[in-house]
């Protein structure tokens, strides 16, 4: 049943440590209320009741309804009475994950050393949130018995567990955590790397070689210093091209572009598969900065199966302006994907010259209006008189945007602006 709203004054009337047993029993029954707000208020009231509620809350850890067991664990953790330690340890084996999670929290709050070994066991719980909370609790308790288990948790499949394990090792502050934390600097997740770096700083660690120093710089996101390392920073930067943090991928790409090392070309081209357009744009900029050594790799990429890679390679080739790309780009105008064809049109326009006029006029007849309008605009930009007749024909195009671009292109040609 729901407790009448007028009864909620009971919590304010509590004098900590003075609540009577009957009131506490009534509140514990109300932990089963279907209303979340009611359950939260009941929990707060039980916490306010303090020491007199402990025994009844311990009994509630065995209630048949898991929501009661969960709220009882929460209340016991906040009250902080050591009598709850063993019952909460037992609750770490509860079949309901939420109960185990709150029991871990509670044991961490109480801070009794008898809970260390059970919390270490909780680092292997099937639920990631329980493992994460166990790492937090062990870090808070600061017991060195947890170091080995926490170093193993640095390899957990869940990012949050690894992150909290790194924080805990930094808090405990034992040199046994140094080597695993150095390895954690290479984690695929930027937040784990960041916390590992902070932990190592707490431990007073200093890099022993260039690789360690570079990973530390990447973990701290000190990109200018990473760029200063030159080729030595190449391998770590290539690894973080697959980081799940967009900003990290972006900065790694920019750094590789600034380094201008040709060994970065293939990994950068592969990064054109990225799901985010602005990341792909940064890849193109980086490849263009590397310059002519990238051309052969980009030409090979035109034959690949991935549409984003082909399209990105075309834009990069256009930016580089290498005439070796003209024939492959002309072939790409027949690609089945309109994005690729549009990219080929753009690239041919950037390369320019007499060789691109005929294929661009053919593109005015492409089945896709975006490709046709792009071709018209570029022909106007190039300004070659051979494009006049095809552009006049394009004034009859069925799509208004193509007609508009063709008209504007013809005006540019008439004014000699090409």
Q: Report the CATH number that the domain containing residue 72 is assigned in CATH.
A: 1.25.10.10
**Together in a domain, 12 and 79:** yes
**What average pLDDT score do residues 329-339 get?**
91
The verdict on residue 21 lying in a domain is: yes
Query: What are residue 109's phi and psi, to 5 degrees?
Result: -65, -40
Q: Which 8-state DSSP code applies to residue 34?
A: S
Query: What's the longest Cα–Cα distance across the chain?
Result: 98
**Together in a domain, 102 and 14:** yes
pLDDT tens across 85-104, in order? Answer: 999 999 999 999 999 999 99
The verdict on residue 273 lying in a domain is: no
The verdict on residue 340 lying in a domain is: no
Full-model pTM: 0.78
Per-residue pLDDT at 152 exceeds 60? yes
**Together in a domain, 106 and 135:** no
**Together in a domain, 100 and 154:** no
Per-residue pLDDT at 124 exceeds 90? yes
Per-residue pLDDT at 1 exceeds 80? no
The verdict on residue 84 lying in a domain is: yes
* DSSP H or E stretch at residue 4: none
**Together in a domain, 100 and 168:** no
Contact 348, 378 (CB under 8 A): yes
Domain count, the chain: 3
The verdict on residue 280 lying in a domain is: no
Which of these three, 53, 80, 110, is where a domain ends?
110
Per-residue pLDDT at 399 exceeds 50? yes
3 state SS of 110: helix
What is the spatial distance between Cα 6 and Cα 20, in angstroms, rounded to a whole number? Answer: 19
Q: What is the pLDDT of residue 286?
A: 97
Query: What are residue 352's phi and psi, to 5 degrees?
Result: 70, -170
Q: What is the pLDDT of residue 52?
A: 83
Which of these three, 174, 206, 238, is where a domain ends?
206
**Together in a domain, 96 and 147:** no
Q: What residue numbers bound the domain in which 98 lies? A: 1-110
Looking from the CA of 70 toward its CB, the CA atoms found within 13 Å total 14
Selection from 200, 271, 205, 275 nearest residue 237 by Cα:
271
Per-residue pLDDT at 48 exceeds 90? no
């Amino acid at each position: 049943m729901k407790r009448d709203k007028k009864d909620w004054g009971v919590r304010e009337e509590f004098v900590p440590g003075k609540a009577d047993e009957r009131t506490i029993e009534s509140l514990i029954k109300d932990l089963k209320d279907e209303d979340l707000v009611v359950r939260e208020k009941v929990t707060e009231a039980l916490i306010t009741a303090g020491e007199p509620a402990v025994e009844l809350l311990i009994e509630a850890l065995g209630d048949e309804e898991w929501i009661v067991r969960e709220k009882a664990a929460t209340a016991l953790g906040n009250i902080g009475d050591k009598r709850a330690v063993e019952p909460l340890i037992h609750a770490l084996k509860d079949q309901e994950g939420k109960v185990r999670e709150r029991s871990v929290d509670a044991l961490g709050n109480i801070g009794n050393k008898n809970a260390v070994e059970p919390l270490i066991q909780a680092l292997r719980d099937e639920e990631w949130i329980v493992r994460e909370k166990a790492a937090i609790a062990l870090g808070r308790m600061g017991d060195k018995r947890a170091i080995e288990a926490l170093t193993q948790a640095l390899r957990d499949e869940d990012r949050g567990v690894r992150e909290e394990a790194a924080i805990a090792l930094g808090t405990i502050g034992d040199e046994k955590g140094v080597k695993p934390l150095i390895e954690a600097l290479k984690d695929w997740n930027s937040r784990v790397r960041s916390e590992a770096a902070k932990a190592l700083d707490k431990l007073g660690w200093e890099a022993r070689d260039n690789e360690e120093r570079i990973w530390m710089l990447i973990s701290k996101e000190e990109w200018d210093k990473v760029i200063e390392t030159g080729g030595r920073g190449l391998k770590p930067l290539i690894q973080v091209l697959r980081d799940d943090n967009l900003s990290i991928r972006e900065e790694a790409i920019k750094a590789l572009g600034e380094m201008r090392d040709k060994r970065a070309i293939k990994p950068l081209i592969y990064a054109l598969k990225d799901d985010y357009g602005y990341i792909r744009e940064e890849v193109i900029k980086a490849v263009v900065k590397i310059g002519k050594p990238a051309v052969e790799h980009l030409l090979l990429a035109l034959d690949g199966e991935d549409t984003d890679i082909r399209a990105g390679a075309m834009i990069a080739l256009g930016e580089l302006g290498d005439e070796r790309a003209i024939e492959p780009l002309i072939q790409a105008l027949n690609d089945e994907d309109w994005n690729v064809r549009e990219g080929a049109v753009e690239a041919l326009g950037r390369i320019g010259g007499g060789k691109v006029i005929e294929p661009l006029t053919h593109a005015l007849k492409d089945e896709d209006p975006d490709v046709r309008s792009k071709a018209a605009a570029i022909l106007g930009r190039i300004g070659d008189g051979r494009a006049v007749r095809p552009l006049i024909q394009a004034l009859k195009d069925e799509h208004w945007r193509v007609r508009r671009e063709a008209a504007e292109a013809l005006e540019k040609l008439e004014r000699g602006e090409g």
